[in-house]
Structure 1
Amino acid sequence: MPNTMKSPNTPFIEVDYAAKIVFTPQSNGQERPDLRATWQQSQGLWKDHPVFHGMAIGEVMTWLRGEDCDV
């Protein structure tokens, strides 16, 4: 079983290679962002860009990655 560090200022734990550690998110009281609202807020941000103006995000990604990208 891993031991917690002795210093109260460090939130780290001592582990070795065989230790099985599971990281779980801690609730900080904030809600997850609304993805639709985030998407709507980002619309038009590139309209004044010298290269990407007038392009859809898919076109920008193709331009950045290239035609042959398998990502």
Structure 2
Amino acid sequence: MRDIYCNVCGKKLFIENGILKEDAFEAKKQWGYFSNKDGILHSFVICEKCYDKMIDSFVIPPEITEVHEL
């Protein structure tokens, strides 16, 4: 497994024996026809601390649902 870094703060996420041992937010967005970025794919990883800061800045918070089966 390659090293994984938070795109916001640059933190190297903890990997042990090829297994990611901390969770992170991963996003991929392929921009479409009605965008100035048509045909471009963006992907990034955000550590949990930076994710929490990001959603704290939202005017409308994300919908959060507790999941009982992982």
Specify which structure has the higher proportion of helix: 1
Could you tell me the TM-score, scaled by structure 2's length? 0.24
Larger Rg: 1
More strand by share: 2
Question: Structure 1-normalised TM-score?
Answer: 0.23
Higher relative contact order (CA 8 A, sep 6+): 2
